[in-house]
Amino acid sequence: MADIHVEDFYKDAALILLQLYRSFPRRTAVFVEDIAGPDTPDEFGLHSRRHMACLGTMTWLAEEGLLRYESLISQDAIDQAVLTGEGFTRLSTLRPDLPVDVQPVGDGALAREPAIAINHIRRILKSGTSTELSETVHRILFP
């Protein structure tokens, strides 16, 4: 049986990093619902395991030095978030170890280079499989 929570982690990490890359170097809030989808807290006001796992991915990425943020907005978002130099470098670096899609993805000078890591993420989110996404994000997070 697949470890769904690990696949969710890789997808959440990809979406979080992509959102921060799109706004780099501007700081922004990253809301859990924008990444993991809507959540309805239970009768005690507690969020679902899925919601809390996504929030955990955000804080883990910060602890690993890929992003930083100023504060939590309750358990709903990280505020004033931005990629660190390390995070930006990992996403904007040529990755010959990842399969290259010949079609450019996105806007700007770096988007014309299909072999950079962020373009692998964009391509797979658009038309890839969860296995491809997991493998790609794993290689980016753990070079």
Instruction: Report pLDDT digits (tens) over 45-76.
Output: 899 999 999 999 999 999 999 999 999 999 99
Report domain extents, the chain: 4-141
In this prediction, residue 102 carries a pLDDT of: 45
Residue type, 52: M
80: left (phi over 0), alpha (psi -120 to 50) or beta: left
**What three-state secondary structure class fits 5?**
helix
What's the pTM? Answer: 0.87
**What three-state secondary structure class fits 115?**
coil
Mean of the pLDDT values across residues 130-139?
93
Computed over every residue of the chain, the mean pLDDT equals 88
Residue found by looking up tokens 């100023």 in the block: 70
- How many Cα atoms sit within 13 Å of 2 on the Cβ side? 9
